[in-house]
Amino acid sequence: MLRAMLYVQWRAARWLLVPFVLLAFGLPLLVLGAARRFALEGGELLPERLIALQSEAVFFFPALAALTGFVVALAVWQWDHRTGHVYALSLPVSRPRYVLLRLLAGMALLAIPVAALWAGAITAVAATPVPAVLHAYPLAFGLRFLLACLIAYTISFAFAAGTMRTTLVVVIVLVAFLSLGTVAVEVTERLTHTTDLYRPIELLHLALLTWPGPFQVFGGNWLLIDV
Amino acid sequence: MTQAIETRGLRYRAGSFEIRSLGLSVPAGSIYGFLGPNGSGKTTTIRLLLGMARRVAGEVRLLGHDVPAQLPAALGRIGYVPERPHLYQALTVAEALRFHGAFYPAWDAAWAESLRAQFALAAGQRIGRLSKGEVGKLMILLALAQRPDLLILDEPTDGLDPIVRRDVLTAVLEYVAEMHATVFVSSHLVHELERICDWVGVLDHGSLVAQLPIEHFKSGVKRVRFGTPPVLTNGLHLEVISRGADPVGAGELWVVRNWSDDLGHSLTEAGAHVREVIDLDLEDVFVELLRGSRQPV
């Protein structure tokens, strides 16, 4: 069953994956190639400049991971959405099992852009004479990309699997939390003459983007060559 | 006789539309025609049977399995052809067969291939590029090749040309004859069902108006032209579906159920004057039944 699902998933997503595979392979080459060119001085690579130049482009990798996960998750459900899920519901598998099959097949597809990124990272590192004080981390870089892809994929998958109503409810709750929470904090600060309360947006940031928040991986260290 | 489909007090509501306490009883091995005008709730009933819609109340048993508790086990023995094509459009015919077959333990790949050839479906053709008739044949093929004990067909021949319709019905009937499977087929093409069904159920506005073997359905229902209509008494086993003035001459025109020659004699002895008893075909019966259920006598 998983094989059949994997094949169908592959048929649904293969053309959508092409630009992401090309980007995943090409981006490490481009970033490291540019950093290498501009960090070169007197025939030698300046370690600080190499790191600083890589840092300039550090946003692209988590963004690519998020977009890859998002697109694969949408591709996973698009055929079922188009048929009103009638075919899926008529198959003799329980709904949790069907969702699990879809989830796993989509995860397996993510291996393709991740492998492309890995290949790109290894090639880029191989073409760069790493200064003695620095180290290359293509393996960790690939793992970080894989993790970011999986997080983006599973969250997008959950939304895509649900109804528009579920998505709306989540969005409304989030907006209500942010707006009402902000008003509540403002009022409390004025009444109590304090200024050290957390805003809802700061709470969200702390909960999601800092360790052990699920999105911490997106804001972490995305340098291919580092100390 | 065991029942392939059994519902008790099945209720569903969506806005103003309602299915009211539906009690379906489909004998195993029968070909059950599920008749009803457009919008009567046939497709909704099928979706309720297959656990695709959430009921308000009631019980559903398919092939002895409780729905929804044992739904996957039931679905493994059911071939379903929905009203509208539900297959993945980007797959080829061969890919759709492989995908579908992976989910069914009794999938007969050799027979699927033979049906594909019989239906002249090109293996490499994308489903999105198939004609309506070809898609209809493919859906029947998929439902049959999984060797089901129960076929649930929702308007399977609607919109198909006569040749494709015959191909599809022939394949279904051959399968039923071979496997003694049960068929639950919904349609508004009354004449088509008349040829193949042995049981019939009529749904109108979400209520089951009638459910009985087709020979009883047809033979007991008559249009009777009375010169002098009878006086209805409690002892008279006659169900009047509709009655009104006779447009041809004086007297009344009745449509009745449970008619028999003996009953005719009894009515005559009681003073009624029976001018003519007219046999109705299934479509007439269907129309009169709906008319009667909407305007009770």
**ipTM > 0.85, yes or no:** no
CA dihedral A150, A154, A156, A162 (to 10 degrees): 170
Select from B132, B142, B186 the least CA-distant residue to B163: B132
> Distance between CA B143 and CA B172 in Å, rounded?
10
Q: Is the pLDDT confidence value at A101 over 90? A: yes
Interchain pair B102, A1: CB under 8 A = yes
Counts of helices then strands in chain A (DSSP H, E): 9, 4
CA atoms of B126 and A88, how far apart (whole Å): 19
Closest C-alpha to B46, from B84, B16, B2:
B84
Nearest to B210 by CA among B199, B198, B222, B202: B202
AA identity, residue A86: V
Amino acid letter, residue B45: T
In terms of DSSP H, where are the helices of chain B? 42-49, 71-75, 93-101, 109-118, 132-145, 162-179, 190-196, 214-219, 261-269, 282-294
Tell if the CB–CB gap between A4 and B72 is shorter than 8 Å. no
Distance CA B232, CA B251 (A): 16
Could you identify the residue written with the tokens 């060559």?
A225
Cβ distance A93 to B89 less than 8 Å, yes or no, reads: no
- Is residue B41 within 8 Å of B205, Cβ to Cβ? yes
Q: Which residues of B31-45 are buried (b: 16+ CB within 10 A; e: fewer)?
A: bbbbbbeeebbbbbb
Among the partner-chain residues A12, A86, A94, the one whose CB lies closest to the CB of B86 is A86
**pLDDT one-digit tens code per residue, B251-266:** 898 888 778 888 888 8
pLDDT at B297: 55
Torsion angle of the four alpha carbons B107, B108, B111, B115, in this order, in degrees rounded to the nearest 10: 10
Give dist(CA A160, CA A69) in Å, integer. 12
Low-confidence ranges of chain B (pLDDT < 50): none
- Residues whose CB falls within 8 Å of the CB of residue A212, separated by 6 or more in sequence, listed in order: none
**What is residue B72's predicted lDDT score, i.e. its pLDDT?**
94
Instruction: Look up the pTM and report it.
Output: 0.83
Listed residue (B35, B16, B2) closest to B210, CA to CA? B35
Determine whether the interchain pair A7/B95 forms a contact, defined as Cβ–Cβ distance below 8 Å: yes
B37-59 residue pLDDT tens: 888 899 999 999 999 999 999 99
| B73/A11 Cβ within 8 A | no
β-bridge mates for residue B257, sequence order: B239
Cβ contacts of A14 on chain B, cutoff 8 Å = none
Q: Which pLDDT tens digit goes with each residue over B5-24?
A: 999 999 999 988 999 899 99
Confidence of residue A118 (pLDDT cuts 50, 70, 90): very high
Distance CA B187, CA B34 (A): 6
CB atoms within 10 A of CB B79: 26
Q: Which chain B residues are Cβ-neighbours of A91 within 8 angstroms?
A: 75, 103
Q: Helix axis angle, A47-56 relative to A2-39, nearest 10°?
A: 130
Q: Answer whether B86 sits within 8 Å of A90, measured CB to CB.
A: yes
Residue B68: cis peptide before it, omega within 30 degrees of 0: yes
* Nearest-CB residue to A91 (from B74, B98, B103): B103
Interface test with B, best of A89, A99, A101 (most B CBs within 10 A): A89
**Residue B76 C-alpha, separation from nearest chain A C-alpha, in angstroms:** 5
Q: How many of the other CB atoms lie within 10 Å of CB of B221? A: 24
Mean pLDDT of A205-218: 84
